[in-house]
């Protein structure tokens, strides 16, 4: 199955030729979870603070489905 | 009202003297008087938002001056909210500035939020942000969120009841979130960009203009010089807003 991934806030540095916020496709085995997606991309789970699947808050254990749009964010700072 | 002061916005379509009067009657609370709070407070005072509330317990430090444009070198060591009040009143003596030189905390959160029409998240840590989100959802107050880190930043507006809250977006209520981000690196103008966008959201809300960033996280990256929008939907099991 194929999902679309967008990386923000420096997470894009982990993946070659990927730009901040721009979607790219990732192929995963059926039933793959967010944790497996991170593994495939080489992003340490400790760097990921927030996961959205199709705009909905998700966790590393959530199972992905064909066509899902996944957005990954690092921790945020402030003022 | 000094009509001439606001002339360039009174003449905007959808604003007029009526809109300006509305701004002068409005009350906005800015939580955090740092890199985000500085541009937010300056633009809102300049626009003639009648009452601005500022909450911050900090004093001006040398490492603040790279981005916190309300403060000057001679202000080092002075309470931020006091310096901010002086600066904002000198910018626009027509507005009122109410300050609280304290932390936004469990014991003052609801009573502070209740006094205002709109709240701005200009905080620098997740604990305060989580508290602010809970208080705004509980009192049904619009919350304009902003955050920055390194070369990037984001804005989203929470309208309790009609869109996702911050806990729908981040694991704000979990232990992992307690990892403090205070003191993280940031390129000075990035909070300027984000704080300015927060001020725009506040003015749009108060004037009833345009479309707010409700359910839309607007993300800015200075390095690629791009803005991206991420749709965010309400989490039906959100620990904060699903109860309201
Ligand atoms: Zn929520």
CATH number of the domain that B112 lies in? 3.40.50.720
Residue B145 lies in a domain: yes
Q: Quote the percentage of chain A above a pLDDT of 70.
A: 96
pLDDT per 10-residue tile (average), chain A, 79 residues: 96 95 97 97 94 95 97 80
pLDDT digits (tens, 9 = 90+) for B155-167: 999 999 999 999 9
pLDDT, residue B184, reads: 82
The predicted pLDDT at position B55 comes to 98
Number of domains in chain B: 1
Q: Is B37 on the interface with A (CB under 8 A)?
A: yes
Within 8 A of B33 by CB-CB distance, chain A residues are 79
CATH annotation of A2-73: 3.10.20.30
Whether B149 sits inside 8 A of A56 (CB atoms) is no
The residue range of the domain holding B123 is 24-243
Residue B134 lies in a domain: yes
The residues of chain B scoring below 70 in pLDDT are 175-183
Option in B68, B176, B221 nearest A20 (CB): B221
CA of B142 to the centre of ligand 1 (A): 13
Provide the CB-side half-sphere exposure for A67 (13 A, CA): 0
Kindly determine whether residue A79 and residue B179, on different chains, have CB atoms separated by under 8 Å: no
Tell me if residue B185 falls in helix, strand or coil: coil
B27, B48, B134 from B8: Cα distances, Å: 22, 12, 37
Q: Is the pTM of this model over 0.90?
A: yes
Rounded distance between C-alpha atoms, residue B170 and residue B101, angstroms: 28
Interface touch B181/A10, C-beta < 8 Å: no
Q: What ipTM, to 2 d.p.?
A: 0.92
What is the model's pLDDT at position B170?
A: 87
Within a domain: B65: yes
What is residue B180's predicted lDDT score, i.e. its pLDDT?
47
Taking the Cβ of residue B66 and every Cβ of chain A, the question of whether any pair is shorter than 8 Å is answered with no
Q: How far apart are CA B88 and CA B13, in angstroms?
A: 27
**What is the b/e burial string over B35-71, where b = at least 16 CB atoms within 10 angstroms of the residue's CB?**
bbbbbbbbbbbbbbbbbbbbbbebbbeeebbebbbbb
The answer to whether B5 and B48 have CB atoms below 8 angstroms apart is yes
CA distance B188 to B12: 31
Q: What are phi and psi of B97, to 5 degrees?
A: -120, 115
Measure A23 CA to nearest chain B CA, in Å. 11
Chain A residues with CB inside 8 Å of B224's CB? 19-21
């Amino acid at each position: 199955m194929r999902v679309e991934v967008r990386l923000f806030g420096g997470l894009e540095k982990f993946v070659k030729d990927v730009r901040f916020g721009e979607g790219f496709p990732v192929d995963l085995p059926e039933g793959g979870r967010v944790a497996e997606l991170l593994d495939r991309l080489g992003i340490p789970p400790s760097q990921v603070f927030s996961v959205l699947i199709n705009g909905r808050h998700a966790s590393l254990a959530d199972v992905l489905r064909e066509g899902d749009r996944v957005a990954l964010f690092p921790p945020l700072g402030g003022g | 009202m000094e009509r001439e002061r606001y002339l360039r916005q009174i003449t905007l379509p959808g604003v007029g003297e009526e809109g300006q009067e509305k701004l002068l009657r409005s009350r906005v609370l800015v939580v955090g008087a740092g890199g985000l709070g500085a541009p937010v407070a300056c633009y809102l005072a300049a626009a003639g938002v009648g009452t601005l509330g500022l909450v911050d317990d900090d004093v001006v430090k040398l490492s603040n001056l790279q981005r916190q444009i309300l403060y000057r070198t001679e202000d080092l060591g002075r309470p931020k909210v006091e310096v901010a009040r002086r600066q904002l009143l000198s910018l626009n003596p027509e507005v009122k500035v109410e300050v609280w030189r304290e932390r936004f905390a469990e014991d003052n959160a609801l009573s502070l939020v209740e006094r205002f029409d709109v709240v701005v998240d200009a905080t620098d840590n997740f604990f305060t942000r989580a508290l602010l989100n809970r208080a705004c959802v509980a009192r049904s107050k619009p919350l304009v969120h902003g955050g920055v880190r390194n070369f990037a930043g984001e804005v989203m507006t929470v309208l309790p009841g009609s869109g996702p809250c911050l806990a729908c977006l981040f694991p704000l209520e979990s232990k992992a979130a307690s990892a403090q981000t205070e003191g993280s690196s940031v390129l000075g103008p990035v909070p300027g960009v984000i704080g300015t966008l927060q001020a725009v959201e506040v003015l749009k809300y108060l004037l009833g203009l345009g479309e707010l960033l409700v359910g839309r996280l607007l993300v800015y990256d200075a390095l690629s010089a791009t803005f991206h929008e991420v749709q965010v939907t309400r989490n039906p099991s959100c620990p904060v807003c699903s109860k309201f």
